[in-house]
């Protein structure tokens, strides 16, 4: 059995981190996340919002390919968790987009993706945005439009976050309370 780590890749100052499930066949071969069909579609989704894959940090909950691409076991998630924790600490993304249910449950333990996809939620300074997995949309074409609409919200979310930062700076200057954000749960 090959045991190749696929830790993740992207700029260390990336504003957006995407967290998938686990490496598949192609990722295992190349040591890079999302290089198969799902990765190609992910690049198309990013292009929709004028972004390139090289601008975001991409990683997975699980750092090695589970045999036959089975779902990760809890013991594997526990073993990989310190690596993901460190990646989040080092990159300090403004937005984490979870693109797998295993990533989503960390912030939304009891939620269903059908209920919360595309809805950003603040956790301190971090915004977490749950989305369907690109591979799910490839298998179920009706999800493609949903995923594409969710992706189109990303620039708006980044803008709102930038505005909030400006308001906080202004508040410090004027001592006026900042406006309540409309987008975030
Ligand atoms: N699916 C994932 O969740 N991660 C990858 O790296 C590739 C496919």
DSSP secondary structure of 78-125: HHHHHHHHHHHHHH--SEEEE-SHHHHHHH-TT--HHHHTT--EEETT
- Residue 72 CA to ligand 1 center (angstroms) comes to 12
| Residue 113 vs residues 50, 54, 68, 72, 129: alpha-carbon distances, Å | 25, 27, 24, 18, 11
- Segment (H or E) for 16: strand 16-20
Please state, for a pLDDT cut of 70, what percent of the chain lies above it.
95
What is the number of the ligand 1 atom nearest to the C-alpha of 32?
6
- Residue 182 CA to ligand 1 center (angstroms) comes to 32
Q: Is the pLDDT of residue 178 over 80?
A: no
- Residue 38 CA to ligand 1 center (angstroms) comes to 7
Q: Read off the pTM.
A: 0.90
CB atoms within 10 A of CB 106: 17
Of the two residues 137 and 182, the one the predictor is more confident about is 137
Pocket of ligand 1 (CB under 6 A): 20-24, 27, 33-34, 36, 38, 60, 100, 135
Burial of 135 (0-12, 13-18, 19+ CB in 10 A): buried
3-state secondary structure of 28: helix
pLDDT tens string 57-116? 999 999 999 999 999 999 999 999 999 999 999 999 999 999 999 999 999 999 999 999
Residue in 22, 57, 69 to alter for ligand 1 test, most ligand atoms within 8 A of Cβ: 22
**6: closest CA among 52, 63, 79?**
63
Is domain 16-163 annotated with CATH 3.60.20.10? no
Whole-number pLDDT of residue 179: 59
pLDDT band at 31 (very low <50, low <70, confident <90, very high): very high
Q: Is the pLDDT of residue 180 over 80?
A: no
Q: How does the average pLDDT of the chain come out, rounded?
A: 93
Q: Six-digit token pair at 175?
A: 């001592």
What is the number of the ligand 1 atom nearest to the C-alpha of 27?
6
């Amino acid at each position: 059995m090959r045991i190749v780590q696929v830790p993740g890749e992207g700029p260390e100052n990336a504003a957006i981190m995407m967290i998938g499930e686990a490496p598949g066949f192609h990722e295992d071969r190349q040591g890079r996340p999302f290089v198969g069909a799902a990765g190609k579609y992910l690049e198309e989704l990013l292009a929709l919002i004028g972004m390139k894959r090289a601008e975001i940090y991409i990683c997975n909950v699980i750092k090695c390919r589970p045999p036959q691409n089975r779902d990760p076991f809890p013991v594997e998630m526990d073993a990989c968790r310190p690596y993901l924790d460190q990646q989040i600490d080092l990159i300090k993304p403004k937005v984490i987009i979870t693109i797998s249910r295993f990533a989503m449950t960390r912030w939304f333990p009891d939620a269903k993706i059908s209920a919360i996809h595309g809805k950003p939620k603040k956790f301190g300074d971090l915004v977490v945005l749950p989305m369907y997995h690109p591979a799910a949309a490839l298998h179920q074409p009706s999800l493609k439009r949903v995923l594409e609409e969710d992706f189109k919200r990303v620039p708006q979310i980044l803008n709102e976050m930038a505005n909030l930062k400006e308001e906080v700076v202004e508040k410090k200057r004027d001592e006026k309370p900042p406006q309540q954000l409309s987008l975030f749960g």
